[in-house]
Amino acid sequence: MIQVTRPYLPSRERLMHYIDGIYERHWLTNDGPLVQELTRRLEAYLGVDNLLLVGNGTLALQIAYRALGISGDDARGDAVTTPFSFAATASSLKWEGVQPVFADIDPATWCLDTDAVAAAITPATRAIVPVHVFGNACDVEGIDGLARRHGLRVVYDGAHAFGVTFRGESLLKWGDAATLSFHATKLFHTIEGGAIVFRRRDDLERARLMINFGIAGPEQIDELGINAKMNEFQAAMGLAQLDEIDINLAGRAAAWERYDQALSDCFITQSRHPACSNNYAYFPISLASESDLLGILALLQEHGVVARRYFYPSLSRVAALAPTRGLPSAADLSRAESLARRILCLPLYCGVPAEQVIEPLLAGWRYHVGAA
Ligand SMILES: *Cc1c(COP(=O)(O)O)cnc(C)c1O
């Protein structure tokens, strides 16, 4: 079976080099030397300042909301976000007591539509939480302007945007904060893990206390905190991944380019922002209808190819995310809901046998789509 993804594993020797150090030091967690080294190397590689490593990408979102005062004791209100994302984007808000209010997406870029965001803003809105969907840059300039006019915080869910640049600089520099996920299925991973990139140093310092129970010193607790730390074994995996990132990226790029060349005339693909680079994290296609999608999915399955419906269902259809009091907003979310029914992510990882995916897809296209 060809799975939709296969976690990259660095060479054992490289990983053991870092793990040997852990065995010498007996320092396993709590801002250890490997976590510090990974922080420095990721800041340099990504071209950002104020990066904080955390236990996973969902905690990264939760801590970012807390550090920026979007959630927490004094916080009241909503956040405008996209229904076309992984569950964690909206569930992390709801979990933090912030009601997600959905706005529709742009039908070509699949990221939040800035006009729809503007229309969703009310006096209760505190923040905007856009997603760089499949590593494609949001309309960061439009959203930034909107946030400034309305005095709102912006947290970008950059779980897909590792290494993406926008006008030559890290895309993660946009917003009050941007978060990353280093889950095993992501482009760069630490098995489980994540990071927050803050715009301001003092937000980073507050978050640093928050991820370790608010503890500021041996006998001093300065903040309401929780446990969101990354440990040394996670950081060892991250360092070994970073040593081999060029190999990983080259393998993904080759498969991505091959898919693009073979499939982009037959299937609808994402329009990427012209100012943003490609990190080859995903190859999504969209079909003309859900029945076309189900036909293609079944055919791929017969040929041992597991493609996945990312992101389906639309988060606007998830009861657990709806307001507990009051009615869900009446916003028109038809573009997101339609895309969610027609989207498919193809297997993409370093070493994926792309031809074995392309062949049944083209056959399926001729049968289900081309023939219609
Ligand atoms: C993976 C992902 C997350 C969650 O990250 P975890 O590390 O799995 O907690 C959040 N948002 C998006 C868009 C994701 O794809």
**Beta-bridge partner residues of 294:** none
Task: Determine the Cα–Cα distance for residues 120 and 107; give it in Å rounded to an integer.
Answer: 17
Residue pair 47/169 in contact (Cβ under 8 Å)? The answer is yes
Residue pair 55/194 in contact (Cβ under 8 Å)? The answer is yes
User: Given the structure tokens 């869900």, which residue do they identify?
Assistant: 328
Burial of 251 (0-12, 13-18, 19+ CB in 10 A): middle
Tens-place pLDDT, residues 300-330 = 999 999 999 999 999 999 999 999 877 778 8
Contact 157 CB / ligand 1 (< 6 Å) = yes
Q: Residue 286 C-alpha to ligand 1 middle, in angstroms? A: 21
The minimum-distance atom of ligand 1 relative to the CA of 192 is 7
Superfamily of domain 245-369: Aspartate Aminotransferase, domain 1 (3.90.1150.10)
pLDDT at site 75: 75
The minimum-distance atom of ligand 1 relative to the CA of 88 is 10
Contact 57 CB / ligand 1 (< 6 Å) = yes
Q: Residue 116 C-alpha to ligand 1 middle, in angstroms? A: 24
pLDDT at site 324: 85
User: Given the structure tokens 């573009």, which residue do they identify?
Assistant: 335
Q: Residue 293 C-alpha to ligand 1 middle, in angstroms? A: 24
The minimum-distance atom of ligand 1 relative to the CA of 181 is 7
Distance of CA 136 to the CA centre of its chain: 10
Residue pair 211/228 in contact (Cβ under 8 Å)? The answer is yes
Contact 92 CB / ligand 1 (< 6 Å) = no
Token pair for residue 48? 């950002």
The pTM (predicted TM-score) of the whole model is 0.97
Ligand 1 pocket mutation pick from 4, 56, 86 by most atoms within 8 angstroms of CB: 86
Alpha helices in the chain (DSSP H): 12-25, 33-46, 57-67, 87-95, 114-120, 140-150, 201-210, 232-243, 245-263, 290-302, 334-342, 354-364
Task: Determine the Cα–Cα distance for residues 20 and 313; give it in Å rounded to an integer.
Answer: 44
pLDDT at site 269: 96
pLDDT at site 76: 78
Ligand 1 pocket mutation pick from 181, 190, 191, 196 by most atoms within 8 angstroms of CB: 181
pLDDT at site 365: 85
162 φ/ψ angles, rounded to the nearest 5 degrees? -55, 125
Read out DSSP for 183-205?
-TTSSS--SS-EEEEESSHHHHH
Pairing between β-strand 78-81 and β-strand 125-129 as defined by DSSP bridges: parallel
Task: Determine the Cα–Cα distance for residues 242 and 345; give it in Å rounded to an integer.
Answer: 25
Contact 131 CB / ligand 1 (< 6 Å) = yes
Give the three-class secondary structure for 242: helix
Q: Residue 218 C-alpha to ligand 1 middle, in angstroms? A: 33
Residue pair 318/270 in contact (Cβ under 8 Å)? The answer is no
Q: Residue 34 C-alpha to ligand 1 middle, in angstroms? A: 23
What are the extents of the domains in the chain? 12-103+111-243, 245-369
Q: Residue 59 C-alpha to ligand 1 middle, in angstroms? A: 9
Residue pair 150/166 in contact (Cβ under 8 Å)? The answer is no
Q: What Cα–Cα distance (Å) separates residue 36 from each residue in 41, 230, 285, 289? A: 9, 10, 39, 48
pLDDT at site 353: 97
Residue type, 40: R
Q: Is residue 81 within a helix (H) or strand (E), and if so which, with residue range?
A: strand 78-81
343 φ/ψ angles, rounded to the nearest 5 degrees? -100, 145
Provide the Cα torsion 162, 166, 171, 175; round to 10°: -160
Q: What Cα–Cα distance (Å) separates residue 196 from each residue in 22, 339, 369? A: 25, 29, 42
Pairing between β-strand 220-221 and β-strand 215-217 as defined by DSSP bridges: antiparallel
All residue ranges of the chain with pLDDT < 50 are none
Contact 81 CB / ligand 1 (< 6 Å) = no
Residues found in the chain = 372
Read out DSSP for 150-179?
HT-EEEEE-TT-TT-EETTEEGGGSSSEEE
Residue pair 107/134 in contact (Cβ under 8 Å)? The answer is no
CATH number attached to the domain at 12-103+111-243: 3.40.640.10
